[in-house]
Chain A
Amino acid sequence: MINTSAIFSEFIDLTNKISKSYNTLSTLEEVEIGTSPKDLVWECDKVKMFRYRRDTPAKTSIPVLVSFAMMNRHDVLDLQPDRSFMKKLLEEGLDIYIMDWGYPTRADQYLTMEDYILGYMNDAVDFIRRSHKIDKIHKMGICQGGLFSLIYASIYPQKLKTLTTYVAPFDFKNVNCNMLFKWAKYVDVDTMVETERVIKSDMLNNAFSMLKPSMDLAKYFGVMDMANDKDKMMNFLRMEKWKADCPDISGEMYRKYITDLFKHNKLINGEFELDGKKVDLKNMTVPFLNVYATEDNIIPNETTTSVMSFIGSKDKELYAFPGGHIGVFVGGKSQKELAPSVAKWVIQRSK
């Protein structure tokens, strides 16, 4: 039977919850993320580099450069004071620089992967080496930023003390491991670049959302249950703000990313070239910590872990984080376990 009374009450309750949520939302101030203090130390075109401020001396004189993926902002690493992976790494004694890829526009359509890796990333690394008068720095990379950092480490191993990557895709062999990998294999990237020139973040977000089509609606049931809890609501909003803040991507960079890596898996097959020069993973000899999330539905584990047998590093380690793609940076275990472990691993290799 249909319980009409209960259903009617439910609709009223639902609307009531929305009303309460509205009241809570209307009392909230500006949603701020990425608030740990940091200073702009370098910039080139739209790419910037910041250095996080420290209250105490670092435990190692060798700084770390962090590079995030280009299709999202790095602010998720510093989402809020009590959920900040960066803050935790600072507390553990690291001296941290972070790259900000900026927001490419149609004027940046011609920027290539070479410009990003051999240009901006290399210039930023050199700036730190020069500023600290050291030969090598620690490098960290997240997701696509991890892949680019591995490519960089294969070209310039002499400039890096260690490489740590988080939830990064390296091996695109198995297209059936994930819907997005399969779509990338089929997508007409040339037409996409010729038409759009810069790849719109909306387009990519739509594709990501298809991994779980209900997500964009279902999440609001949870939000309404936190209507009376300002703090929880604020946590939700911070994450929403981060998710909505997606830069577009230079078309030429995207073309190579999809064609050479996703479609033809050239890096793992030993055929990948940057600026006409082959990138050999066997040259990647720096100590390597490869962090992956066991519940990652965006970057399947096999695409991350299999790279271990292709690189030249002797000191290499896999770290299985129990959680999802973003949980690596915002979950409770991220603060309590992952950040201290990573910092310890890096500091041990700083001598």
Chain B
Amino acid sequence: MSTKEKSKNLLNDFIETQVNVVDKIVENTKKIAKDLPIVNETLDKGYKAIKDGINTQKEWATKLNENMEKTQEKFNAGTDSTKEFFNSWFEKQMNWSKTMFNNNPMNSFTNNTNNDMMNAWTNWMTQMATKMNTPNFNNPWASMTNGNMMNNGFGFMNNSNDYSQKMSEGFNQWAGQMKQYSDMMTKSYEEWTSQLGNMTSSDTFKGMANMNEHVSKFFELWLPMFKSINEKTFSPNMVNELMNVEKYKEFMDSFFKFMPDEHQKMMNQMNQKFIDSMKSYSENPMAAFNNAWNASPNMMFSNNPYSNAMEMYSNLKTYMNEAVSPLTKIIGDSNYAKDAQSWNNLADMMAQFQIKNNELQYMVYQNGLTVMNKLSTKVSDKLKAGQSIDSVVVLYQDWLKLGDETFTELFNTDAYTALMTEVSSLQMKIKNEVDNKMEKTFFSNLPLATRSDLDEVYKCIYDMKKVLHGFERHFNSLNDENKPKDAKSSKK
């Protein structure tokens, strides 16, 4: 695809995404404010304005596309126009997002006061109550409150009535919008990166995108805790109960990237053949982790489920060997028997790798929870001191800092080091074995130079070069010996 077409598609994607985002925001806001005729009316007007704006932008983008094509033909460089469009789009996007957020009835009260949602809400409600007590005031909230809530004071805030429910809904919708926005940005990063002029800039931009994505993941992970904080039910020991274990794993995996992609792919493929049969005792670490989590949300359990897995596997292996060895004796020392034995050894290594790698990951997950617990204690202390949580970035940076302390302490232990190096060694042995088998199985009868053949050639070249360099040094030293003599003779 040409750069021109790419840019065109990019523009279209942007507009489409923008339309979808605005639609979604409006839809979500309407859901939250379904019983608020005034808000809905305002929203409809606003929505129309936005739609008009988008249509204008579409026209503008079409013109821009045309102009861009002309410009590209003339200057053979269309990226500037794309950037220009992106800047304009981005600015509008940000403004609209902010406007929509500010117009959202669930948020309007938060923007007016001291950044404290509940206080702001209370203040706003007090103002509303004053207004409602005035004669002939048409109460827009009446249908929501099922009676005169003012008579009940503000106790409804702590009950699961419509308001707090809608607060929660609003929170979820808001989180959904954030996620959608973040996903949209992530999708676009790749396109933008390709427009940058050099690899270092591209890598830096990718790094920023990864960081942003990881912050979003962290935010998503902490959303249940945020809700709990807002509902005034949060306590530090709740973090393990509230946290979504799948999301936690995803978050940790993206931070540590346990295995390089290629190895992971290879292992996954091989797992299909060999590891399925071992499933009963070498489950994915998440299963054991999940069970343990459910059994003891505080994660202070002392038994490592993988020590049992390894023992069970050893027993099974012994049993299998006893059962199979008489058969191999009958077959004798043939190539088939050797081959079968070799595959058996490979399967054995892979099962061991799987169990130990799970154990390693499990170790990291456990320590990751320690970090989360430390962080939640910090958050709890902050809340007790009457402070509010104003920044996910600061919270995330706290997590990074606490993580560095905890993880480096773990990495420094003999237990982790021994296991990590063992896993790494097993992984490499498997890779080596598979490489060799691939060569023998697929290439031995073909007139092709295999990697092993090339390694032999490299060895020959290395040996020859060594001899050559030896000669060169010898000649140089002979020259060195001769030169001073020549110099002396010329002086004479």
> Residues of A at under 8 Å CB distance from B?
1-12, 14-16, 18-19, 21-23, 25-26, 28-31, 44-45, 106-111, 115, 119, 123, 126, 130, 176, 179, 182-183, 185-188, 191-192, 194-197, 202, 210-214, 216-221, 223-224, 236-237, 240-241, 244
Q: Which residue of A lies closest to B421 (CB)?
A: A186
Q: Check if A214 sits within 8 Å of B411, measured CB to CB.
A: no
Q: Which residue of A lies closest to B480 (CB)?
A: A130
Q: Is the interface of B mostly helix, strand, loop or mixed?
A: helix
Q: Which residue of B lies closest to A250 (CB)?
A: B462
Q: Which residues of B contact A31 (CB under 8 A)?
A: 198, 200-201
Give B201-236 interface residues, CB cut-off 8 Å to A.
201, 203-205, 207-212, 214-215, 219, 226, 229-230
Q: Please give 8 more A-B residue pairs, beta carbons under 8 A apart, in addition to A108-B462, A123-B473.
A: A8-B178, A28-B197, A111-B462, A195-B431, A212-B404, A214-B404, A217-B255, A223-B204
Kindly state whether residue B273 has any CB partner on chain A within 8 Å: no
A interface footprint on B100-135 (CB within 8 Å = 1, 0 otherwise): 010000010011000111110000000000000000
Q: Which residues of B contact A23 (CB under 8 A)?
A: 83, 87
Kindly state whether residue B417 has any CB partner on chain A within 8 Å: yes
Q: Is the interface of A mostly helix, strand, loop or mixed?
A: helix
Q: Check if B476 sits within 8 Å of A126, measured CB to CB.
A: yes
Q: How far is it, in angstroms, between the C-alpha of A217 and the C-alpha of B208 when the chains are bound? A: 8
Q: Check if A191 sits within 8 Å of B429, measured CB to CB.
A: yes
What's the minimum C-beta distance from A80 to chain B, rounded to whole angstroms?
A: 13
Choose from B388, B431, B473 the contact partner of A1 (Cβ within 8 Å). B388
- Do A22 and B117 contact each other (CB < 8 Å), given the known contacts A109-B458, A183-B420? no
Choose from A26, A106, A126, A241 the contact partner of B196 (Cβ within 8 Å). A26
> Residues of B at under 8 Å CB distance from A?
79, 83, 86-87, 90, 94, 97-98, 101, 107, 110-111, 115-119, 171, 174, 178, 181-182, 185, 192, 195-201, 203-205, 207-212, 214-215, 219, 226, 229-230, 255-256, 260, 383, 388-393, 397, 400-401, 403-404, 407-408, 411-412, 414, 417-418, 420-422, 424-425, 428-429, 431-432, 435, 454-455, 458-459, 461-462, 465-466, 469, 473, 476, 480
Q: How far is it, in angstroms, between the C-alpha of A16 and the C-alpha of B97 when the chains are bound? A: 12
Can you list 29 A-B pairs, Cβ within 8 angstroms, ordered by A? A1-B230, A1-B383, A3-B389, A3-B390, A4-B110, A4-B174, A8-B174, A10-B390, A10-B391, A11-B219, A29-B197, A30-B197, A30-B198, A31-B201, A109-B455, A115-B466, A186-B417, A187-B425, A188-B421, A194-B428, A194-B432, A195-B431, A195-B432, A202-B260, A214-B403, A220-B208, A220-B210, A240-B204, A244-B200
Q: Which residues of B contact A240 (CB under 8 A)?
A: 200, 203-204
What's the minimum C-beta distance from A70 to chain B, rounded to whole angstroms?
A: 17
Q: Check if B116 sits within 8 Å of A19, measured CB to CB.
A: no
Q: Which residues of B contact A111 (CB under 8 A)?
A: 462
Q: How far is it, in angstroms, between the C-alpha of A291 and the C-alpha of B466 when the chains are bound? A: 35
Q: Which residue of A lies closest to B387 (CB)?
A: A1
What's the minimum C-beta distance from B458 to chain A, rounded to whole angstroms?
A: 5
Choose from A16, A126, A211 the contact partner of B408 (Cβ within 8 Å). A211
Q: Check if A179 sits within 8 Å of B411, measured CB to CB.
A: yes
Q: Which residues of A contact B219 (CB under 8 A)?
A: 11
What's the minimum C-beta distance from A255 to chain B, rounded to whole angstroms?
A: 14
Q: Which residues of B contact A179 (CB under 8 A)?
A: 408, 411-412
Q: Which residue of A lies closest to B79 (CB)?
A: A26
Choose from A7, A213, A224 the contact partner of B255 (Cβ within 8 Å). A213
Q: Check if A5 sits within 8 Å of B417, measured CB to CB.
A: no
Choose from B119, B400, B465 the contact partner of A45 (Cβ within 8 Å). B465
Q: Check if B390 sits within 8 Å of A6, measured CB to CB.
A: yes
Q: Which residues of A contact B408 (CB under 8 A)?
A: 179, 210-213
- Do A182 and B417 contact each other (CB < 8 Å), given the known contacts A5-B111, A126-B476? yes
Q: Check if B424 sits within 8 Å of A188, measured CB to CB.
A: yes
Q: Check if B117 sits within 8 Å of A220, measured CB to CB.
A: no
Q: Check if A14 sits within 8 Å of B393, measured CB to CB.
A: yes
Q: Check if B425 sits within 8 Å of A191, measured CB to CB.
A: yes
Q: How far is it, in angstroms, between the C-alpha of A110 and the C-alpha of B229 when the chains are bound? A: 61
Q: Check if B425 sits within 8 Å of A19, measured CB to CB.
A: no
Q: Check if A183 sits within 8 Å of B115, measured CB to CB.
A: no
Q: How far is it, in angstroms, between the C-alpha of A44 and the C-alpha of B400 when the chains are bound? A: 46
Q: Check if B476 sits within 8 Å of A130, measured CB to CB.
A: yes
Q: Which residues of B contact A25 (CB under 8 A)?
A: 196, 201, 204-205
Q: Which residues of A contact B115 (CB under 8 A)?
A: 3, 5-6
- Do A7 and B392 contact each other (CB < 8 Å), given the known contacts A111-B462, A213-B255? yes
Q: Which residues of B contact A10 (CB under 8 A)?
A: 390-393
- Do A2 and B388 contact each other (CB < 8 Å), given the known contacts A186-B418, A241-B200? yes
- Do A44 and B469 contact each other (CB < 8 Å), given the known contacts A3-B110, A213-B255, A218-B400? yes
Q: How far is it, in angstroms, between the C-alpha of A25 and the C-alpha of B196 when the chains are bound? A: 7
Q: Check if B192 sits within 8 Å of A22, measured CB to CB.
A: yes
Q: Which residues of B contact A211 (CB under 8 A)?
A: 408
What's the minimum C-beta distance from B341 to chain A, rounded to whole angstroms?
A: 20
Q: Check if A12 sits within 8 Å of B392, measured CB to CB.
A: no
Q: Which residues of A contact B229 (CB under 8 A)?
A: 1-2
What's the minimum C-beta distance from B126 to chain A, rounded to whole angstroms?
A: 17
Q: Which 4 A-B pairs have the closest CB atoms?
A: A188-B425, A214-B400, A195-B428, A186-B421
